[in-house]
């Protein structure tokens, strides 16, 4: 273990930290900008960015209801360490006119493509365009940050919805959390 610590020590040196800071200042890194304060509002609901640290309870409840209770995803797979990473993850929350949280999604700000995931809308609110609005909201933000495409892993039964939103499937079907999925991408 000591050898490993010694090996990594030079990577954490003050000189390298200064060089890295200077490189970051002069390198365009659009995916690290703060999200815009835009929101989408209709007569029945509002789509906006959420702060995981203060709204994780409401976001987690929607995801738990959809993924764990409806679809049987193991609870330990539903919430992961990425959720709290505010530098690289954006969360969307959808609230009804009565302020009930009815939908959520997240977008991981990866180096080449933004990755949309954890899209969930409560059953009683489905087929009202909420999923489409969340996708458009996230795609607009990805484009604003300089991304040229987004990707997601769609449950196979949901691929027709994503095809209608301009996504195309990439690769073969795979199983994630016991559910068949396809990777899908959309150019922005």
* pLDDT score at 33: 53
Look at residue 97 and give its three-state secondary structure.
Answer: coil
What domain count does the chain have?
A: 1
* pLDDT score at 79: 86
Answer whether residue 17 is part of any domain.
no
Nearest to 141 by CA among 50, 44, 27: 50
Structure tokens at 52: 């995981």
Answer whether residue 114 is part of any domain.
yes
* pLDDT score at 86: 85
Answer whether residue 29 is part of any domain.
no
- Mean pLDDT by groups of 10 residues along the chain of 188 residues: 33 36 39 58 86 94 96 90 90 94 96 95 95 96 96 97 97 94 97
d(CA 187, CA 139): 9
Domain containing 157 equals: 37-187
Answer whether residue 5 is part of any domain.
no
Look at residue 30 and give its three-state secondary structure.
Answer: helix
CA geometry: angle 100, 47, 112, nearest 5 deg:
130
Q: How do residues 23-34 score in pLDDT, each as one tens digit?
A: 333 334 445 555
CA distances from residue 131 to 34, 47, 56 in whole angstroms, order as listed: 23, 10, 19
Asked if 125 contacts 102 with a C-beta cutoff of 8 angstroms, the reply is: yes
CATH assignment of the domain containing 55: 3.40.630.30
d(CA 110, CA 89): 9
Answer whether residue 27 is part of any domain.
no
- Report the chain's C-alpha Rg in angstroms: 19
Residues in the chain: 188
* pLDDT score at 5: 33
Answer whether residue 94 is part of any domain.
yes
Answer whether residue 104 is part of any domain.
yes
Answer whether residue 170 is part of any domain.
yes
* pLDDT score at 59: 95
């Amino acid at each position: 273990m000591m050898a490993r610590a010694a090996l990594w020590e030079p990577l954490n040196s003050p000189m390298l930290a200064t060089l890295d800071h200077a490189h970051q200042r002069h390198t365009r890194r659009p995916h690290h900008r703060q999200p815009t304060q835009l929101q989408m509002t209709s007569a029945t609901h509002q789509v906006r960015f959420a702060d995981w640290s203060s709204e994780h309870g409401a976001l987690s409840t929607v995801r738990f209801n959809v993924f764990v209770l409806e679809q049987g995803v193991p609870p330990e797979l539903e919430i992961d360490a990425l959720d709290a990473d505010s530098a690289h993850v954006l969360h969307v929350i959808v609230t009804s006119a009565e302020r009930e949280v009815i939908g959520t999604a997240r977008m991981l700000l990866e180096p080449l493509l933004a990755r949309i995931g954890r899209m969930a809308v409560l059953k009683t609110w489905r087929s009202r365009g909420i999923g489409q609005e969340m996708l458009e909201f996230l795609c607009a933000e990805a484009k604003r940050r300089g991304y040229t495409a987004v990707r997601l892993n769609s449950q196979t039964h949901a691929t027709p919805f994503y095809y209608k939103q301009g996504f195309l499937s990439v690769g073969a079907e795979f199983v994630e959390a016991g559910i068949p999925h396809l990777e899908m991408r959309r150019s922005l």
